[in-house]
Amino acid sequence: MSALDAELKKALLRGWGYRSFRPLQKEAVQAALAGKDTLVVLPTGGGKSVCYQLPAALGKGLVLVVSPLIALMDDQVAAAREAGLKAEALHSNLEGSRRSEAYRLLASGQVDLLYVSPERLLVGDLAEELAPRLVLIAVDEAHCVSHWGHEFRPEYRRLAEVFERLPKAARMALTATATPEVREDICRQLALREPERFIGHPDRPNLVYRAVPRHDQAAQVLDVIRRHPKQGGIVYAQTRKEVDRLAEGLREAGVSCVPYHAGMEASERRECQEKFLAEDADVVVATIAFGMGIDRPDVRFVVHANTPRSVEHYQQESGRAGRDGESAECVLLFAASDLIRHRFLAKKDGELAPERERALEKQLREIGRYAAAPVCRHGILSEHFGAEYPAPAKGCGACDVCLGETRSLPDEEALLTAKKILSAAWRTEGRFGAGYVVKLLLGKPDERMASRGHDKLGVFGLLGKESEAALRYWVDQLIVQGFLEVDEGDYPLLRITSEGKALCADKGTVRLGTAVPQARKRKGRKPARPTMEAEPRADEALFERLRAFRRMIALQLGVPPYVVFHDAALLEMAALRPRTLEELRLVKGVGEKKLERFGPAFLKVIAGGSGDA
């Protein structure tokens, strides 16, 4: 082992309590210390922050982190300080006295890690003030720089202007979600100089993915939550109105939850976010305004009550589950109408530039395929981000398709079913919506249908043995595959496309999936995975006492509980029951500073005492 390797391992253990690096972390740190520019793409929970925090911990100079997460910078600073780093932040929400103190510490060379917003870095002469000590500039959430990225931020495009004034500092761009196309755009827009690329596999094997047709949104969301009683979860909805409605319904059902959306006052949003991070609320119901950078590691489920705008959005948002490496569930409730709404909202404020419109259409096709195709979800996500997915012979065992909850119709049956649906849309001449066409196929006449003589058509009742939910799901799948389309005018009319007409003439192929009814199952917490051969199971009662004690300490310190210890560390404590500081030091996630600060009190709780925080 080289001297540098030994120094890195020692710093990792001292600050973060880990004896080994996660994939590509060490390589990224070594490249940065060698002054090389880097692109780091690691899945959510893959430990990106260590890649730039570790160089700061070694005392080699000042590390600057450009982050769009102003609301969370204080938590990021608190977590860095618990790892023993001299960290500060500069952003528009900082009070005057704290801002002055941060500048004083910077001027005296007492800061190793500085978080700034892109807006703050772009004004004034901050860059020049930092230049003498600056060794690394890390751009977090780097996909924000890309037109192709799912969170395009114009401010990020101007960062290269600042970097030109800081030529001696290495540059590191980090993100969890980037297709090969976005990666190239990041390198170009941030002017990375012959960057070394560290691209981790995007798959998250601890996540169970389910994509199911939406038919009763509130009931389906509640069903997922009830599989995870008293556990942390996020529910994403498309509009503020849906967020408020779902949150109210969940509270009436006895769920501890808070809403979060841009229509709330900033102070209200901050309060709701803090309640969730402090574990005062189990569930947050939110629009996509919530979540970037949320570091609560014990989120056990993420539900998308509506289809997100892109696969990148879905990977980022669903990736907030299971950051501790334990099993978690990600459920997407799909309806093609969501894609139509995304298109409408993107265009309502004016014409999109051709590049953005092409990107939008590509994103909608890809998320539609993910949600509707009866194909392994882990495989689709991996391939989308340019990685092969070597699925086991019996499937991944962690998605609705491979678990047998969704099955593909045989090719001939799928083609015949598709032809029947397409024929109904064709015979109604594209003048009616999907609901009308479904009723026609089910053979459920109404006054409007009878007045037009559609109850006499040959397609009337042609799929009468199927359920309405199955038919609506197939319609959505045919829309996603381009055989049907929905008019974007005032009324969502269903029309057959030229591809649909070709399919009716046996030119083309189609895939249709159907949900398989499942018996209700309650999903409990996955046992801990402690680092010893016997793998003892965690004592659940002790684990809950440790969680309660951790929460009390966090409240006193004014930080989220995970800043004290992650759930994974508490689970291992509850399994191993360490009796001394030396034994506690063996628990993953217990660094030297945390051992010194919290160790004695946690040992008392493990021994059956109160801890005396």
SS3 assignment, position 296: coil
- Cβ of 340: how many Cβ atoms within 10 Å? 17
Q: Is 449 found in the same domain as 397?
A: no
Report yes or no on 127 lying in a domain.
Answer: yes
Tokens of 394: 């019996």
Report yes or no on 534 lying in a domain.
Answer: no
Tell me 183's DSSP state.
H
Helices 336-347 and 354-372 cross at an angle (nearest 10°) of 170
| Count of domains observed in the chain | 4
Q: Is 98 found in the same domain as 14?
A: yes
* pLDDT at 524 > cutoff 70: no
Mean pLDDT of the chain: 89
Three-point CA angle 516, 520, 526, nearest 5° = 110
What's the CATH code of the domain at 501? Answer: 1.10.10.10
Q: Is 220 found in the same domain as 176?
A: no
Read off the pLDDT band of 533 (50, 70, 90).
very low
Q: Is 398 found in the same domain as 324?
A: yes
Among 304, 334, 307, smallest CA distance to 472 is for 334
Q: Is 448 found in the same domain as 382?
A: no
Read off the pLDDT band of 534 (50, 70, 90).
very low
Report yes or no on 586 lying in a domain.
Answer: yes
Tell me 455's DSSP state.
G
Is residue 421 within 8 Å of 471, Cβ to Cβ?
yes
pLDDT digits (tens, 9 = 90+) for 489-514: 667 899 999 999 999 999 999 999 99
Last-in-domain residue among 387, 405, 423: 405
pLDDT digits (tens, 9 = 90+) for 589-613: 999 889 999 999 999 999 986 655 5
Q: Is 275 found in the same domain as 138?
A: no
* pLDDT at 167 > cutoff 60: yes
SS3 assignment, position 304: strand
Is residue 223 within 8 Å of 275, Cβ to Cβ?
no
Tell me 399's DSSP state.
B
- Cβ of 511: how many Cβ atoms within 10 Å? 17
Would you state the pLDDT for residue 138? 97
Would you state the pLDDT for residue 558? 87
- State the residue for tokens 């509130």: 218
Would you state the pLDDT for residue 408? 92
- State the residue for tokens 């800061």: 111
Q: Is 20 exposed, middle or buried (0-12, 13-18, 19+ CB in 10 A)?
A: exposed
Q: Is 383 found in the same domain as 274?
A: yes
Last-in-domain residue among 405, 437, 459: 405
What's the CATH code of the domain at 370? Answer: 3.40.50.300
Would you state the pLDDT for residue 44? 81
What's the CATH code of the domain at 565? Answer: 1.10.150.80
Report yes or no on 128 lying in a domain.
Answer: yes
pLDDT digits (tens, 9 = 90+) for 470-487: 999 999 999 999 999 998
Read off the pLDDT band of 530 (50, 70, 90).
very low
pLDDT digits (tens, 9 = 90+) for 282-314: 999 999 877 665 678 899 999 999 999 999 989
Domain that holds residue 274: 207-405
Would you state the pLDDT for residue 291? 65
Would you state the pLDDT for residue 357? 84
pLDDT digits (tens, 9 = 90+) for 323-354: 888 899 999 999 999 998 898 888 876 777 88
Q: Is 586 found in the same domain as 488?
A: no
Tokens of 425: 């849309």
Which whole-number Å values give the CA distances from 56 to 6, 135, 205, 364, in the listed order? 16, 9, 31, 40
Q: Is 400 found in the same domain as 267?
A: yes
**407 Cα distance to chain centroid:** 26
Residue 286 CA to residue 280 CA, distance in Å, equals 16
Q: Is 265 found in the same domain as 147?
A: no
Last-in-domain residue among 163, 178, 199: 199
Q: Is 142 found in the same domain as 238?
A: no
pLDDT digits (tens, 9 = 90+) for 223-241: 999 999 999 999 999 999 9
Residue 557 CA to residue 237 CA, distance in Å, equals 33
Residue 405 CA to residue 4 CA, distance in Å, equals 50
Lowest mean pLDDT segment, chosen from 15-29, 60-74, 367-381: 60-74
Report yes or no on 521 lying in a domain.
Answer: no
Report yes or no on 531 lying in a domain.
Answer: no
Phi, psi of 176 (to 5 degrees): -100, -20
Residue 285 CA to residue 241 CA, distance in Å, equals 11
Would you state the pLDDT for residue 54? 95
Would you state the pLDDT for residue 583? 94
Phi, psi of 243 (to 5 degrees): -60, -50
Mean pLDDT on 122-151: 87
pLDDT digits (tens, 9 = 90+) for 7-57: 999 999 999 999 899 999 999 999 999 999 999 999 887 889 999 999 999
Q: Is 417 found in the same domain as 400?
A: no
Read off the pLDDT band of 523 (50, 70, 90).
very low
Report yes or no on 579 lying in a domain.
Answer: yes
SS3 assignment, position 67: coil
* pLDDT at 528 > cutoff 90: no
pLDDT digits (tens, 9 = 90+) for 406-450: 999 999 999 999 999 999 999 999 999 999 999 999 999 888 898
Mean pLDDT on 65-88: 87
Report yes or no on 611 lying in a domain.
Answer: no
